Chain A
Amino acid sequence: MSSLDWIVLVATLSVIILYGVWKSRGKQSMESYFLGNQSMPWYIVLLSIIGTQASAITFISAPGQAYTDGMRFVQYYFGLPLAMVVLCITFVPIFHKLKVYTAYEFLEQRFDLKTRTLTAALFLVQRGLSTGISICAPSIILSSLLGWNLYWTNLIMGGLLIIYTVAGGTRAVSYTQTLQLLVIFAGMFLAGWMVVHLLPENIGMKEALQVSGKMNKLNVIVTDFDWKDKYNIWSGIIGGFFLALSYFGTDQSQVGRYLTAKSVKESRLGLLINGLVKVPMQFLILLIGALVFVFYLYFRAPLFFNEAQLARIHKTEHGAALSALENEFNSLSTTKQHQVKDLAAALDKGEQTAISTAQQALQATEDKAQHVRAEAITLIKNADPAGDANDTNYIFLHFVVNSLPKGLVGLLIAIIFLAAWGSIAAALNSLASTTVVDVYKRLYKREESPEKYVRMSRMWTLIWGVFCIAVAQFASGLGSLIEVVNVLGSWFYGTTLGIFLVAFYLKRVGGTATFTAAIIAQVVVLILFWMEVVSFLWLNAIGCMLVLALALVLQPFMKKTA
């Protein structure tokens, strides 16, 4: 990175930290620390919800996903707007009415202590581990691309935000997320504009879209059904609905965001407008990836986007074989550069036969290039079995670091940090609130002074921050970390959602039946995952349905009071 990039990066991060610290001033109570005195307007709630969900990986991985697999990943979000409606009808009014600090408090009022504690424990395990991995995933990519030390990158990625999260609680988290998102949106818009700007002179947005579409990267809607296919319209609407309902309705990192709203109205507006903007927002982020694909048709792409890994393999006995594959790939890239110009010219003239011929020629060369890439990936796996052989998450940042002008590189790297901080800060706040409210205050110290609770809240925010950084330091050997985070969530979300849906909709079912159903469902979900019966997205729906069905079946066998 150039000096200008460093200045932009350090200045952006410093402004956010100072802003967070500034927003932390004033005397705190537990109510202000975890609920922000329920004073937030809908637009702060909205940006906070978006900032919590959109982690660094969202901005790194999504464009890479579109580059390799096309834009169909957007279907993953189709269930989200429907989930927002259900949340607004059921979850939000109840949470506000009961004046809860955490979603799990409600479960004791509805069922019993053991169901509340089980659900809180599932959340703490899942969120604690996945937050650690969320710190590590972007750190690995940045350290590999920029040659930074991984441990220091982890420390900065997960450590600096602790300053304002510990000091200011949920209020500092919400306000910094708002500022972070404004910077992120501006940076991503500039990056998208630059991709098109950097294309050859005669290629504008329309031509880039045409070429991308002809190469099957604009496959937004896939209607074919397959249980094992992760991204089609059916898994997106059904599986995505259960995932979103579970995430926004039962994950304290999100519930804690809209509980800060000053009224039910403000919570609902924040969630519903999130339902309106989330899908178009993801569409635009993915579109950047589809355009980066076009960029790399005109300009040579590397054989493997994680070039640090490539350099390591070159130093092994597999180096010569890798060089041969690189030469072959480069030769195919040169051919593609000519063929894409032919395709663009044919599209410009609108001659169907010429378009079809040019498209087939380019696709054939692309298939050959992908075959060479697959051979290279196999070789990389053999040479370094512990390394990550998936370079999807390096694609966008490779483009940023190697193609964008000075200053903008620093801004885009800052965006990765800001996106990470937004979701990690909300996670730490929710981990602390669950620990203090559902464990410490409920099980150990029911009557303490307000000052003591605030001190404990700050202490637990710090402890969870240190824990997540420690997880991050050990997580680098787990392979594809994004997949690990998604899978980890799908293990627990279905069961947790099932417990809440029983609470809301099956009034006759008691705590013991629900608790037993949840334990059985959790075991079944883990077995299904282990046996690889379905894609992970379906585990959310299956876990949830199992809890609902088992709770209904078990209830007649329980005592009336249970």
Chain B
Amino acid sequence: MQDNHLQEEKPPLFPSWNYWYILVVAWLALLIILFYLFTKTFS
């Protein structure tokens, strides 16, 4: 088994994992807003 999983590797694209977490939560918020507008537009 390799030991490289024990190291805290830097994430791709962003300087830290916190940016990835923010991206996921922000994406969910954006989707909910878009779905809300979708619901209202076609209702």
Chain A: residues with CB nearer than 8 A to chain B? 31, 35, 37-39, 74, 78, 81-82, 84-85, 88-89, 96-97, 99, 209-210, 212-214, 216, 218-221, 233, 261-265, 268-269, 272, 275-276, 279-280, 283
| A219-B43, A221-B36, A264-B7 known, 10 other contacts, Cβ within 8 Å | A35-B1, A74-B35, A216-B43, A220-B38, A264-B5, A265-B9, A272-B21, A276-B24, A276-B27, A280-B31
The secondary structure that dominates the B interface is helix
Within 8 A of A (CB), among B1-43: 1-2, 4-12, 17, 20-21, 23-25, 27-28, 31-32, 35-36, 38-39, 41-43
Min CB gap B36→A, angstroms: 5
The 10 sampled A-B contact pairs (Cβ below 8 Å) are A81-B28, A82-B28, A85-B21, A99-B1, A214-B43, A218-B39, A221-B32, A221-B36, A263-B4, A268-B11
Query: B28 contacts which chain A residues (CB < 8 A)?
Result: 78, 81-82, 275, 279
Min CB gap A399→B, angstroms: 21
Compute how far the CA of A233 lies from the CA of B25 in the bound complex, rounded to whole angstroms.
15
Min CB gap B19→A, angstroms: 11
Contact in complex: A210, B20 (CB < 8 Å) = no
Known contacts A78-B32, A210-B42, A219-B39: A38-B5 contact under CB 8 Å: yes
Compute how far the CA of A74 lies from the CA of B32 in the bound complex, rounded to whole angstroms.
10
Query: A214 contacts which chain B residues (CB < 8 A)?
Result: 42-43
Among A74, A214, A279, the most chain B Cβ lie within 10 Å of the Cβ of A279
3 nearest A-B residue pairs (beta carbon): A213-B42, A265-B9, A220-B35
Contact of A37 among B1, B11, B24, B32 (CB under 8 A): B1
Contact in complex: A89, B24 (CB < 8 Å) = no
Query: A99 contacts which chain B residues (CB < 8 A)?
Result: 1
Min CB gap B30→A, angstroms: 10
Contact in complex: B12, A218 (CB < 8 Å) = no
Compute how far the CA of A74 lies from the CA of B24 in the bound complex, rounded to whole angstroms.
17
Min CB gap B2→A, angstroms: 6
Contact in complex: B1, A85 (CB < 8 Å) = no
Query: A89 contacts which chain B residues (CB < 8 A)?
Result: 17, 21
Contact in complex: B24, A209 (CB < 8 Å) = no
Min CB gap A319→B, angstroms: 40
Compute how far the CA of A221 lies from the CA of B6 in the bound complex, rounded to whole angstroms.
41
Q: Which residue of B lies closest to A85 (CB)?
A: B21
Known contacts A74-B35, A219-B43: A88-B2 contact under CB 8 Å: no
Min CB gap B3→A, angstroms: 9
Contact in complex: A269, B11 (CB < 8 Å) = yes
Q: Which residue of B lies closest to A31 (CB)?
A: B1
Contact of A88 among B7, B17, B42, B43 (CB under 8 A): B17
Known contacts A78-B28, A85-B24: A213-B2 contact under CB 8 Å: no
Known contacts A81-B24, A84-B24, A221-B35: A268-B5 contact under CB 8 Å: no
Min CB gap A538→B, angstroms: 20
Known contacts A81-B27, A213-B41, A213-B43: A272-B36 contact under CB 8 Å: no
Query: B9 contacts which chain A residues (CB < 8 A)?
Result: 263-265
Q: Which residue of A lies closest to B43 (CB)?
A: A213
Query: A213 contacts which chain B residues (CB < 8 A)?
Result: 41-43
Query: B8 contacts which chain A residues (CB < 8 A)?
Result: 264
Contact in complex: B25, A82 (CB < 8 Å) = yes
Min CB gap B31→A, angstroms: 6
Query: A82 contacts which chain B residues (CB < 8 A)?
Result: 24-25, 28
Query: B10 contacts which chain A residues (CB < 8 A)?
Result: 265
Min CB gap B41→A, angstroms: 7
Min CB gap A266→B, angstroms: 8
Q: Which residue of B lies closest to A42 (CB)?
A: B12
Compute how far the CA of A221 lies from the CA of B17 in the bound complex, rounded to whole angstroms.
30
Contact in complex: B5, A88 (CB < 8 Å) = no
Query: A264 contacts which chain B residues (CB < 8 A)?
Result: 5, 7-9
Query: B35 contacts which chain A residues (CB < 8 A)?
Result: 74, 220-221, 283
